Copies of this chain bind each other. A is one copy, B any other.
Amino acid sequence: MKLSIADIASLTNAKIVGDDPPKAGFITGIAKIEEAKEGELTFLYLPQYEKYFPSTKASAIFVRSDFKKTRKNITYLEVPDPNKAFFKIITTYFSPKFPLEGIDATAFVHPSASVGDKTAIGKNVVISAGCIIGKNVKIFHNTVLLENVDVGDDSIIFQNVSVREECKLGKRVIIHSGTVIGSDGFGYTMENGAYVKIPQVGNVILGDDVELGSNVSVDRAAIGSTIIKQGTKIDNLVQIAHNVVIGEHTAVSGQTGFSGSAKIGNYCVFGGQIGVAGHIEITDKVMIAAQSGVSKSVTKSGTYFGAPLKEIKEAFRQEGHIRNLEDYAKRIKELEKLVAKISEQLKNSPER
Residues of A within 8 A of B (CB): 30-32, 35, 46, 48, 83-84, 87, 90-91, 94-96, 98-99, 106, 108, 122-124, 126, 129, 140-142, 144, 146-147, 158-162, 164-165, 174, 176-180, 183-184, 186, 188-189, 193-195, 197-201, 209, 211, 213-217, 219, 222-224, 231, 233, 235-237, 239, 241, 243, 249, 251, 253-255, 257, 259, 272-273, 275, 277, 279, 290-291, 293, 295, 307-308, 317-319, 321-326, 328-329, 331-332, 335-336, 338-339, 342-343, 345-346, 349-352
Q: Which residues of B contact A99 (CB under 8 A)?
A: 129, 147
**A180 pairs with B178, CB closer than 8 A:** yes
Q: Closest Cβ of chain B: how far from A178's Cβ, in Å? A: 5
Most-contacted residue by chain B among A180, A332, A336 (CB, 10 A): A180
**A236 pairs with B199, CB closer than 8 A:** no
Instruction: State the CA gap A106–B141 with chains docked (Å).
Output: 13
Residue in B195, B217, B239 whose beta carbon sits within 8 Å of that of A231 in the complex: B195
If A90-B198, A142-B124 touch, whether A213 touches B217 (CB-CB below 8 Å) is yes
Residue in B217, B290, B328 whose beta carbon sits within 8 Å of that of A215 in the complex: B217
Main secondary structure of the interface of A (DSSP, over half): loop
Instruction: State the CA gap A231–B31 with chains docked (Å).
Output: 27
**A193 pairs with B239, CB closer than 8 A:** no
Q: Which residues of B contact A197 (CB under 8 A)?
A: 174, 211
Q: Which residue of B lies closest to A219 (CB)?
A: B236
Q: Closest Cβ of chain B: how far from A6's Cβ, in Å? A: 22
Q: Which residue of B lies closest to A122 (CB)?
A: B126
Residue in B46, B87, B124, B257 whose beta carbon sits within 8 Å of that of A189 in the complex: B87
Going nearest first, the 6 A-B pairs with the smallest beta carbon separation are A162-B177, A321-B325, A217-B236, A180-B214, A183-B214, A144-B159
